[in-house]
Structure 1
């Protein structure tokens, strides 16, 4: 069986792809082979219940792909978008640690991008450069919404803008935020507002860079 094609079919066509994947796991039909087992192992990775009351990373991933399925038609590249959602937290497999009594997964976005590269390259999907770059970029940048909104040291607007996928990063971001424990209407509105703030700050960065280029006769980078 070509698992990539089979997974892609359900990611692109199912209203709730999680049903297919959970059924596979429960029936022992999920491929416990590399690289697909990189995602399967997320079932054994617990998360901080304060931020992820839903449970382990597999559960979170399933909730995120269901949220992504609601929005895939709004993305530039639906197939890449759904695979980015499926792989977005793969980095937590190796970065999750207990620190001072709290579960953390520092740099799981950066590590996850490298693991996504490894995953796709093993399947020879790096040969489809557009798809490959899209998925890796979204995995690498999916935490930028939080970083940019909070104005913290990890915010990297330059990388976000250069990726060319600003809107889809925001789209994956809302899926990530809603794909966890239940939220009130007020909490959902707050998450949606954070995406708006992220997009506004990206646009402000683009406008500022353009003004600088015009003022000093510099090439826009």
Structure 2
């Protein structure tokens, strides 16, 4: 490339220094023009600023650039990608010091903002005050905190709070909030994501349904001395221990939304909170464009998690109705997902982290018993659809009744 130089940048270096497997390798090119990149055989793909794909490796190469804020939101930027932009100028526009390192083609790391030092200390620190210009950086910082279990530097925390106070965070589009939240659910500690957002005030802006749970006492039976927000974070933590399924983690997060709507005269019983939670789950999912499969499980868990807690006392008809309404009667995966969410709920309390929650195991035994009913065999010789349906229904009730309601040794 003669005077043109390219540098590996960002996450690839960060993850390697942390001993983690990196997903992507991104490059910055200094001293080039878009025309020169095309002459060298790169495929142009960037819309807002010059980005190119190496046809051999498939790796992304972006021209070094600077940014200037022109409007609110994460799209309100004007870019300068002239050949005169230096590597340090390009790195300075990045969000966090741990993401502002580069490596030349001989393997030398360029680290003008001390990202390696912050990596070793487990600190998330902004590179420059330009951090405040992009509200997505608040979400990304919270996600990195969850992914690496790093602390947010005090000065960065202050900038994030400033972005909330001046309304910059309000410019976040719902799809981007969900995208960052979805990635956070895949980390080992998604509860940190929500806590970081709450610490700077952003949780009330982007996820008000979750923020509203803090300060609401838990039910009288289950640790009324802690509030529902704390309980919810503990439930999410338990869901991570139980499953890597993001649907389970999301449903666990929103299972108690209705408690924020409990009338004061019904505290701390929270009677009927599961019904009050359903419209809140729908509202959150609609606003953030949450995929239907996430919403479906979340609604089922929100409506029926109290049924699960009473599984040893429920009537067979109530159990069968629960199986049908949660779409888990014939779906082993769905039944398992609901069971895991309810285990997480039961264990999301201090001192109950390893609780042997037999209600979920009993539910799965009921589900298997009802599922084994051979509807086809029962329908032989019958032509009346209603009679067939009634016969199958009675057989499933009998199968549920036959399941012993005892705690196994």
**TM superposition score normalised by structure 2:** 0.45
CA shift for structure 1 position 119: 1.1
Q: Summarize the Cα distance change of 1:201–1:67 in structure 2 as closer, same or farther, 3 Å threshold.
A: same
**Structure 2: runs of 5+ lacking an equivalent:** 1-135, 137-175, 329-333, 381-387, 394-409
Aligned partner of 2:166 in structure 1 is: none
- CA deviations on 1:43-99 (whole Å, 9 max, x unpaired) are 1211235412560110000000000111222xxxx2222111111100111135444
Q: Summarize the Cα distance change of 1:111–1:49 in structure 2 as closer, same or farther, 3 Å threshold.
A: closer
Q: Summarize the Cα distance change of 1:206–1:153 in structure 2 as closer, same or farther, 3 Å threshold.
A: closer
210-219 or 161-170, which moves further after superposition? 210-219
**Structure 1: runs of 5+ lacking an equivalent:** none
Larger Cα-atom Rg? 2
After the TM superposition, which residues 91-170 of structure 1 pair with which residues of structure 2 at under 5 Å, given as runs? Answer: 91-95=258-262, 97-99=264-266, 103-125=268-290, 128-151=291-314, 155-162=318-325, 163-164=327-328, 165-170=334-339
**TM superposition score normalised by structure 1:** 0.79
Contact 1:148 1:198 in 2 (8 A): yes
1:62 aligns with 2:236: no
Aligned partner of 2:203 in structure 1 is: 31
Instruction: Specify which structure has the bigger relative contact order, considering alpha-carbon pairs within 8 angstroms and separated by 6 or more residues.
Output: 1
The Cα RMSD (Å) is 2.7
Q: Secondary structure, in 3 states, of the residue corresponding to 2:323? A: helix
Aligned with residue 11 of structure 1, among 182, 185, 201: 185
After the TM superposition, which residues 74-93 of structure 1 pair with which residues of structure 2 at under 5 Å, given as runs? Answer: 78-93=245-260
Bigger helix share:
1
Q: Summarize the Cα distance change of 1:60–1:175 in structure 2 as closer, same or farther, 3 Å threshold.
A: same
152-161 or 52-61, which moves further after superposition? 152-161
CA shift for structure 1 position 135: 2.4
Q: Summarize the Cα distance change of 1:137–1:33 in structure 2 as closer, same or farther, 3 Å threshold.
A: same
Q: Secondary structure, in 3 states, of the residue corresponding to 2:268? A: strand
Aligned with residue 223 of structure 2, among 37, 52, 56: 52
Contact 1:43 1:56 in 2 (8 A): yes
